[in-house]
């Protein structure tokens, strides 16, 4: 439906009311953008709105620009990430089983602890190589707009894994308490992994990066 059709839909002066509401909405949106500009536009879908003929245009920043997509496809760090991610998830799966076994039976504390340490080492590796990948593709080591929230949550994941590592090395708490902390770290890891899987799906659906125009 065109904007003019919307404005005249009730036949009782709704055109003026619709025009006023539209003007106020656009001015309010512009004010919000000036006061609190969003630094992660690709994640939230921040857009600019302007009149185009009888409709409204919406321009959304793609997940990857054409240049970023080329760099992503050509760098070896993309392959490194593609290998490390499933390896880490496999280590996570094995570790969860060992940790739950210990918490349930009291047996296998050493195996459970070693499994978490391996998982933590893989996390550090994927964080470092991921930062390098982000630098190559987006020009910054962390918090690129397209992966801002994923990187923010990754800091929590890293903090909890590091807290577990510190507890083990400094002998803080019992093995049970340490492994409960490990499970908390694992819970954040699952959420973070889901964030990246969702972003991977978005990238595949997006295809070649381009701005999208939607006309009302």
pLDDT at 55: 46
pLDDT tens digits for range 174-183:
999 999 999 9
The mean per-residue pLDDT over the stretch 131-158 comes to: 95
* DSSP symbol at 54: T
The Cα–Cα gap between 55 and 46 comes to: 19
pLDDT of residue 27: 52
- Residues 118 and 97: beta-carbon distance below 8 Å: no
- Quote the CA–CA distance of 115 and 71 in Å, as a whole number: 35
Is the per-residue pLDDT at 77 higher than 50? yes
pLDDT of 20 above 90: no
pLDDT at 54: 43
User: Is the distance from CB of 191 to CB of 150 less than 8 angstroms?
Assistant: no
Burial 148-182 (b: 16+ CB within 10 A, else e): bebbebbeebbebbebbbebbeeeeeebeebbebb
pLDDT of residue 208: 59
Q: Are 92 and 189 in contact (CB under 8 A)?
A: yes
Which candidate, 156, 155, 81, 165, places its Cα nearest to that of 116?
A: 165
Phi-psi region at 186: left, alpha or beta (left = phi > 0; alpha = psi -120 to 50) = alpha
Average pLDDT, the chain: 78
């Amino acid at each position: 439906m065109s904007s003019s059709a919307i404005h005249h839909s009730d036949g009782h002066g709704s055109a003026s009311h619709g025009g006023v509401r539209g003007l106020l909405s656009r001015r309010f949106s512009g004010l919000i953008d000036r006061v609190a500009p969003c630094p992660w536009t690709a994640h939230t879908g921040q857009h600019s709105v302007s009149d185009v003929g009888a409709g409204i245009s919406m321009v959304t920043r793609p997940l990857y620009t054409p240049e970023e997509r080329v760099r992503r496809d050509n760098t070896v760090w993309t392959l490194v990430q593609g290998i490390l991610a499933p390896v880490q998830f496999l280590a996570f799966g094995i570790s969860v089983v060992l940790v739950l076994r210990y918490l349930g039976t009291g047996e296998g504390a050493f195996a459970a602890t070693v499994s978490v340490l391996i998982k933590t080492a893989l996390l550090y590796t994927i964080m470092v190589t991921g930062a390098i990948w982000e630098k190559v593709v987006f020009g910054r080591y962390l918090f690129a707009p397209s992966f801002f929230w994923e990187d923010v949550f990754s800091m929590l994941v890293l903090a909890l894994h590091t807290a577990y590592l510190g507890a083990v090395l400094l002998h803080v708490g019992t093995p049970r308490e340490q492994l409960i902390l490990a499970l908390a770290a694992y819970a954040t890891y699952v959420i973070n992994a889901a964030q990246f899987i969702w972003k991977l799906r978005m990238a595949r659906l997006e295809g070649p990066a381009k701005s999208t125009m939607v006309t009302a």
